[in-house]
Amino acid sequence: MNDQWQDNLRNRMEHHEEPAPDGLWESIEQLVPAGNKQRLWSQNIIPLVAAAAAIALLFIVLYNTNNEEKVEYTQQTITEEVQPRERIKEAPKNEPQVLIASRQSSNNSDYVVVSDNIEDNISTYETISETISKKNTLLEIETTKDFTIKPSIVNNSNDQLFASSSIAQRQESSKWQTNVSMSNMPSGSAQTYTGYGTFALQETVEEQYDFLSKYTRQEVYTNVEHDQPITFGLTLRYNLSQKWDITSGLTYSMLKSQLRSGGDNYHYDDRQTLHYIGVPLNIAYNFWQSNNLSSYISAGTHVQKNIAGTLSSNYYIDEQLELNTKEKVLSNKLQWSVNSAIGVEYRVSDFIGIYAEPGIDYYFKNSSELETIYKERPFSFNLRLGVRLNINQ
């Protein structure tokens, strides 16, 4: 085998240059650590500086108000997504609190805003901004004292340090954030990224690449959507006691996903349907029961195996269907998950019940090549429906 072409290519490209993107230097210039800025070498110094400044200021505040009560200060981690200033709200008039320091984060920077004179109407704020390159330990602190803001009287919110007559404390951030965001997207998962995308594993890849390369080199993007999976089950229940039981059986799940990849005038649509058979093992606790209905919470594991799958791709040019390809997809890997659900069961007879179990699943990574909602959103909502046979009544 002759590798000469590799050397040739390397040499040819060694001196190739591309125009640097417009405005690149300008944005670098703003973020770069320049000479008169102070450098710190550890990320840990930021919270220390913030804490020290806050505590020092607290003493000043307390001294000024001639109050000797104890100060409580607890440190919390910062939620990065929250935009600066969003949190500040007007306080109810009967309970004035004065903002002493607040830590605010946006995508790239972290601020500690400290007010150092609460008696004046206008006070100087000191901002410490750090530019973070996430995996970098080198930080930069820039200190400016040249702008003034009115002191804000604020209500309880995240990551702020208050003086409320005498006690200052940092408010805890909400513990329910994850759950709220979960409930905001109950219907599967959707994602967009630039570049090509495909569900295909085998021959379709070539087809799709040829299709795209024929038409353009312009920017392409890909939309992927995974439908919410629903699991049907035929399960057996074994009562351990009045309240506790174990269930197991067989489940069937169908996973549907759509993908659109391409530019504006041409694109292809992938439709992937996957069929899974699974065996669940759950333990349930009945917390409410009437004649025919019972409610329970359950937790357990579920192992699933992909038994069949199809991928159908349609190719469009100017919205005209040009071509259709089909391929079979299959993964040999087992898909394990753990779940927790709340269930309602309706007894049709003494032995047979039908159930519905909305719940939360966590799907473990398996090394399968298939793009599924399990892979895309391992922690997700699931709805199980089915028929259950009760044994040992």
Partner 1 sequence: MTKEEKKEKELLHKIVQGNMLAMKEFYDSNSGYLAAVCSRYISNQEDIKDVLQESFIKIFKAIHKFEYKGKGSLRAWSARIVVNQSLNHIKENEKLQLTTLPSWDLPDQAEDIEPDFEEIPTDIIMDMIQSLPPGYRTVFNLFIFENKTHKEIASILKISENTSASQFHRAKALLVKEIELYRLKIKHYERSMAR
Q: How far is the CB of 378 from partner 1 (least distance, A)?
A: 16
Tell me the C-alpha distance between 25 and 20, whole Å: 9
Among 104, 198, 231, 298, contact with partner 1 (rule: CB under 8 A): 198
Nearest residue (CB) to partner 1, 10 versus 93: 10
Q: How far is the CB of 215 from partner 1 (least distance, A)?
A: 11
180 binds partner 1, rule: CB under 8 A? no
Please give the C-alpha separations between residue 239 and each of 18, 186, 281, 385, 393, in angstroms, as whole numbers.
70, 32, 14, 20, 8
Which residues within the stretch 144-173 sit at the binding site for partner 1 (CB under 8 A)?
Answer: none
391 binds partner 1, rule: CB under 8 A? no
209 binds partner 1, rule: CB under 8 A? yes
Q: Which stretch binds partner 1 (CB under 8 A): 17-25, 225-233, 309-317, 341-349?
A: 17-25
HSE toward the beta carbon, residue 281, CA cutoff 13 A: 3
Instruction: Give me the phi and psi of 30, to 5 degrees please.
Output: -75, -25
User: β-pairing, 189-194 with 148-149?
Assistant: unpaired
17 binds partner 1, rule: CB under 8 A? yes
Of the candidates 213, 303, 331, which has an alpha carbon nearest to the alpha carbon of residue 261? Answer: 213
Tell me the C-alpha distance between 196 and 179, whole Å: 32
Q: What share of the chain is helix, strand, coil (3-state, %, to 5)?
A: 15, 45, 35
Whether 172 and 76 have beta carbons less than 8 Å apart is answered as yes
Q: How far is the CB of 12 from partner 1 (least distance, A)?
A: 6
Q: How far is the CB of 13 from partner 1 (least distance, A)?
A: 6
Among 20, 66, 72, 180, contact with partner 1 (rule: CB under 8 A): 20
Nearest residue (CB) to partner 1, 89 versus 328: 328
Please give the C-alpha separations between residue 300 and each of 114, 362, 364, in angstroms, as whole numbers.
49, 11, 14
37 binds partner 1, rule: CB under 8 A? yes
Tell me the C-alpha distance between 331 and 294, whole Å: 37
Instruction: Give me the phi and psi of 188, to 5 degrees please.
Output: 70, -155
Q: Which stretch binds partner 1 (CB under 8 A): 18-26, 159-167, 237-245, 246-254?
A: 18-26
Q: How far is the CB of 18 from partner 1 (least distance, A)?
A: 4
Among 193, 238, 244, 362, contact with partner 1 (rule: CB under 8 A): 193
Among 18, 68, 72, 319, contact with partner 1 (rule: CB under 8 A): 18
Q: Is 11 exposed, middle or buried (0-12, 13-18, 19+ CB in 10 A)?
A: exposed
Q: How far is the CB of 151 from partner 1 (least distance, A)?
A: 34
Per DSSP, 90 falls in state: B
Q: How far is the CB of 19 from partner 1 (least distance, A)?
A: 7
Residues within the interface to partner 1 (CB under 8 A): 2, 5-6, 8-10, 12-13, 15-21, 23-25, 27-29, 31-37, 131, 133, 136, 138, 140, 193-198, 200-202, 205, 209, 212-213, 217, 219, 222, 369, 371
